Amino acid sequence: MAIAAIQILNTMASLALISLGLAVIFGMMRVMNFAHGELLMLGAYSVQFANAYGVNIWIAMFVVAPVVVGLIGILIERLVIRHLYGRMMDTLLATWGLSLFITGLVTMVFGNVTRGLSTPLGSFEIGGIRDSSYKFLIIGVTIALFVAIYAVLRHTRVGLIARATMDNPRQVGVMGINPGYVYTATFAVGAALTGLAGAIMAPLTGVLPTMGAAYIGKAFITVICGGDAIFAGTASAAVLFGLINQTTTILLTPEFGEVALLLGALLMLRILPSGLSSLFSRRAV
Amino acid sequence: MAERGAPLLETRGVGMRFGGVKAVEDVDFRLEEGELRCLIGPNGAGKSTFFRCLTKQYQPTSGTVLLRGRDVTRAPTHAIARQGVGIKTQVPNVFDGLTVRENLRLAATARHRGRAIDEACDQAIERLSLKAIGGHRLDRLSHGQRQWVELAMVVTSRPALILLDEPTAGMTHAEVEHTAALIQELNRDSALIVVEHDMQFIRSIATGVTVFHQGRIFADGTAETIMRDPRVGEIYLGKRNLLS
Ligand SMILES: Nc1ncnc2c1ncn2[C@@H]1O[C@H](COP(=O)(O)OP(=O)(O)OP(=O)(O)O)[C@@H](O)[C@H]1O
Ligand SMILES: [Mg+2]
């Protein structure tokens, strides 16, 4: 029972973690980033690569991966996204093209092989069942990230500027704020969080060029079903779908778990078309 | 380069067209440091559009805009704001999802840092009696309250040049008087351009009046001479003069 609870918490946290960067970018900028899975993949490569070259695993995971992918995010925003603001369809197509391009490039450079990364932290045992202690790390980091983002948005100057830009982008210029900087910074933060998520997931999934495809669907479902209150929504959708997915996985098989998640999402959007957060909040954050 | 003795604001031949509509045309306008000017003109004369050309919320389609002699024709909105131009638009343009205090903080960050932000907010809240609604979100407020918040945002950021587009629209008589006093107080530190329709109000605050008509400057002068000018009366309300 305790093991089941930990597994369910872990699935919830993993969903929230892989969706967080997407939530930042979609929530703040209304940009549907179809290259989200590839940013996760680049985070995974960053940690694997840095670690293979002797960088301490924690530094590779918590510093190298987010910094590398954050910088790539700046590049993507400046070269592609910036020219397409307000054009949802064009942005979608452009980022989809970008995802193919990044996958192709990484395949060319690193080859279409799965690279491994040993899971740190060993294992724990409850009632005769062993499981990886890494699950606690995923749960802890996810909670810490959500709390940190909430605190920054609510209580800092930067957070105030971010919320204002989200609220009324045409008016922030009048306040002396350059909306271009805000968008670049937001995209960079979203990308960095995504890179970190990819790095954290890397030891569990292995690292290969096409790994992004496994994440993108779930991340989109979680963010979309979350609704307008982007962070509370994403968190609550992750909790709901994590519960459905992992419970079904324990009772039946992982395949049924995935199917149950999808059915749950469809049903939920049918009942609550404006997302889970419409139940409890009108706030944007 | 800032020239010595250059006016605070100067426009040369500024024009703004929307497709075939010439909303503002060939406007030469000068405002000295510390000046208080009223802008009047019938509906659709181009007053609001002219303001937006100054803040670059619209990019003028012709002409030059100079701030203290520096050419800012190509500068974006945020750069204009940082050079000390604040605007209160005709339709309250505020951040609906944020509280009154957060809106003020945001305005204050344009000019202040650290503790000075809170002090500027406190002063504006005090000065405009907004204490009771400080924690309310803007989308919960009435139109009139939003007007006051936007005025307070301008007060908080203390710009060198303040543009007010119909600040008294929809206000009660007492509120209008309050606003007139506020404008005169602001004028101690800042130059102002105020778009107004209420002649009584203009006479109580103004030194100079500029009349817009069909996108162009139609007349210029003191409040008294403008109000007695029969040509102005005609374009304005079809009246013989504005005092009748
Ligand atoms: N975004 C726009 N697109 C097209 N036409 C516009 C736009 N903004 C203003 N106009 C036109 O420009 C002209 C001037 O409008 P403006 O709002 O500047 O007048 P105003 O002097 O402020 O009038 P009022 O006293 O009614 O506020 C009008 O004919 C208006 O229809
Ligand atoms: Mg107007």
Between CA B130 and CA B138 the distance in angstroms is: 12
Q: Which residue of A has its CA nearest to B93?
A: A171
Residue in the block written with tokens 């391009």: A101
**pLDDT of A227:** 83
Nearest C-alpha to atom 10 of ligand 1 is from which residue? B23
Please give the sequence-ordered ranges of beta strands (E in DSSP) within chain B, or none if there are none.
9-18, 21-31, 36-40, 62-67, 70-71, 85-88, 161-165, 191-195, 208-213, 216-222
Nearest-angstrom CA–CA distance, B127 and B187? 15
Report all structural domains of chain A as residue ranges with CATH numbers, in order of start. 2-111+132-279 (1.10.3470)
How far out from the chain centre does Cα B160 lie? 12
- pLDDT digits 0-9 by tens, B69-88: 999 999 999 999 999 999 99
Contact A174 B106 (CB under 8 A): no
Q: Is residue B201 within 8 Å of residue B181, measured between CB atoms?
A: no
Residue type, B173: H
Please name the residue whose Cα sits nearest to atom 13 of ligand 1. Answer: B23
CA geometry: angle A72, A73, A76, nearest 5 deg: 90
Query: Is there an atom of ligand 1 within 6 Å of B46 CB?
Result: yes
Averaged pLDDT of chain B = 88
Inter-chain CB proximity B81 and A168 less than 8 Å: no
> How far is B244 from B242, CA to CA, in rounded Å?
6
Contact A43, A199 (CB under 8 A): yes
Q: Please, which pLDDT band fits residue B1 given cuts at 50, 70 and 90?
A: very low
Q: At what angle do helices A179-205 and A157-167 cross, to 10 degrees?
A: 100
What separation in Å is there between the alpha carbon of B49 and the centre of ligand 2? 7
Q: What is the pLDDT of residues A209-252, one digit of tens each?
A: 999 988 998 999 999 888 878 888 888 888 888 888 888 888 88
Q: Residue B31: its pLDDT value, please?
A: 95
Mutate to test the pocket of ligand 1, among B16, B17, B18 (most ligand atoms within 8 A of CB): B18
pLDDT in tens, B182-239: 899 899 989 999 998 888 888 888 779 999 999 999 989 888 888 888 888 888 765 5
Could you tell me the residue ranges of all domains in chain B? 9-84+159-237
Are A175 and B98 a contacting pair at CB < 8 A?
Answer: no
Among B208, B213, B181, B244, CA closest to B36: B208
DSSP codes of every residue in B70-135: EE-TT--HHHHHHTTEEEE-SS----TTSBHHHHHHHHHHTT--THHHHHHHHHHHHHTT-GGGTT
Structure-token match 């699950």, residue found: A135
Lowest-confidence range among A161-165, A226-230, B54-58? A226-230
Residue B48 near ligand 1, beta carbon < 6 Å = yes
Angle in degrees, 0-180, between the axes of helices A212-226 and A88-110, rounded to the nearest 10: 150
Model pTM score: 0.86
Closest ligand to Cα B39: 1
A1 touching chain B per CB within 8 A: no
Show Cβ contacts of residue B23 under 8 Å, excluding neighbours closer than 6 positions: B16, B17, B46, B49, B215
Q: Please tell me if residue B55 touches chain A, with a CB cutoff of 8 Å.
A: yes
Chain Cα centroid distance, residue A6? 21
Can you name the residues that pair with A85 across neighbouring β-strands? none
Nearest CA in chain A to B85: A174
| pLDDT confidence of residue B30 | 94
Output the CA torsion sign for B90, B92, B94, B97: negative
Does the pLDDT value for residue A284 go beyond 60? no
Asked whether the beta carbons of residue A175 and residue B76 sit closer than 8 angstroms, the reply is: no
**Does the beta carbon of B96 lie under 8 angstroms from any beta carbon of chain A?**
yes
A184 to chain B: which residues are within 8 Å by CB?
Answer: none
- Least Cα distance to B85 among B76, B94, B96 occurs for B76
> Which stretch of DSSP H or E encloses residue A237?
helix A230-251
Q: Count of residues for chain A?
A: 285
Kindly state the DSSP code that residue A173 receives in the 8-state scheme.
G
Least confidently predicted of A40-44, A144-148, A281-285: A281-285
Q: Do residues A87 and A172 lie in contact, with contact meaning Cβ atoms separated by under 8 Å?
A: no
Compute how many other C-beta atoms are within 10 angstroms of the C-beta atom of residue B40: 27
Query: What pLDDT is attached to residue B48?
Result: 95
Nearest by CB to residue A173, choosing from B77, B95, B111, is B77
Query: Ligand 1 pocket test: which of B38, B49, B57, B88 has the largest number of ligand atoms within 8 Å of its C-beta?
Result: B49
Alpha carbon of A160: minimum distance to chain B alpha carbons (Å):
7
A275 sits in the region (left: phi over 0; alpha: psi -120 to 50; else beta) called left
| CATH number belonging to domain B9-84+159-237 | 3.40.50.300
